[in-house]
């Protein structure tokens, strides 16, 4: 094997490794994003909700998935944390998620090793005590950042905020 061939193979292996690393980063970031969205919206027992204490409980549930700066960066963090709880109380329903999709916002979102913009959409299923349910579509964009080899949510731009606020009978 000549030096030229060896160099070509080395470059190809390096590129393949970088691409695999990018896909692994994307997969890892997507997993954290999915867990964040599930924990953000799921309410398992609306009968137990007490506000504003429930907001702190929700924040503790989300803590493994969010940056420490998340609460300072989110302009309406209290509303974001309380909104699923307020919807559950207003609708007298528990909330689960279905059909969660996490997609890259761009090709750069897949390739960037330290930041990712990921779009999400999911269906919230509100189920009352009688077993009747209603579905609500939710979508948004998450800014993900890698810190100490872990992906975290830096910000959540919920595009469905006003519809959800209406459902919770709030002014947005």
The backbone torsions φ and ψ at residue 65, rounded to the nearest 5 degrees and listed phi first, read: -105, -10
pLDDT at 10: 38
The region, left, alpha or beta by phi > 0 then psi within -120 to 50, assigned to residue 58 is alpha
The answer for 149, left when phi > 0, alpha when psi is -120 to 50, beta otherwise, is left
Amino acid 79: pLDDT: 63
Q: Copy the structure tokens of residue 56.
A: 């702190």
pLDDT in tens, 16-69: 344 444 567 889 999 999 999 999 999 999 999 998 888 888 888 888 999 877
- pLDDT greater at residue 165 or residue 96: 96
CA 87: distance to chain centroid?
A: 18
Residue 2 has pLDDT above 70, yes or no: no
CA distance between the termini of the chain: 68
**Burial grade of 16 (CB within 10 A; 0-12, 13-18, 19 or more):** exposed
pLDDT in tens, 70-122: 766 555 555 677 899 999 999 999 999 999 999 987 776 666 677 889 999 99
Higher pLDDT, 57 or 124: 124
Q: What is the pLDDT of residue 171?
A: 38
The predicted pLDDT at position 72 comes to 60
Residue 54 backbone dihedrals phi, psi, to 5 degrees: -60, -30
Q: What's the pLDDT at 3? A: 44
Contact in structure between 141 and 105 (CB atoms under 8 Å): yes
Mean pLDDT to the nearest integer, 121-140:
97
Give the pTM. Answer: 0.80
Within the chain, residue ranges assigned H as helices are 3-41, 53-62, 70-73, 77-91, 107-111, 161-167
pLDDT at 9: 38
Domain ranges of the chain: 21-167
Is the CATH code 3.30.70.1450 the one for domain 21-167?
Answer: no
Q: What is the pLDDT of residues 146-161, one digit of tens each?
A: 999 999 999 898 899 8
Structure tokens at 101: 């999709």
Q: Residue with structure tokens 């059909």? A: 99
């Amino acid at each position: 094997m000549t030096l030229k061939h060896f160099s070509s193979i080395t470059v190809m292996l390096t590129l393949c490794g970088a691409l695999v690393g990018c896909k692994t980063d994307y997969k890892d970031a997507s997993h954290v994003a999915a867990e964040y969205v599930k924990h953000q919206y799921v309410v398992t027992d609306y009968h137990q909700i007490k506000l504003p204490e429930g907001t702190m409980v929700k924040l503790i549930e989300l803590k493994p998935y969010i940056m420490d700066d998340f609460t300072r960066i989110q302009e309406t963090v209290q509303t974001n944390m309380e909104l699923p709880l307020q919807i559950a109380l207003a609708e007298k329903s528990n909330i689960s998620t279905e059909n969660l999709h996490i997609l890259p916002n761009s090709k750069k979102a897949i390739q960037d090793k330290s930041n990712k913009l990921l779009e999400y959409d999911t269906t919230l299923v509100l189920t009352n005590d009688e077993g009747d349910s209603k579905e609500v579509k939710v979508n948004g964009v998450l800014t993900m950042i890698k810190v100490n080899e872990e992906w975290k949510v830096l910000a959540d731009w919920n595009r469905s905020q006003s519809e959800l606020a209406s459902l919770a009978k709030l002014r947005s």
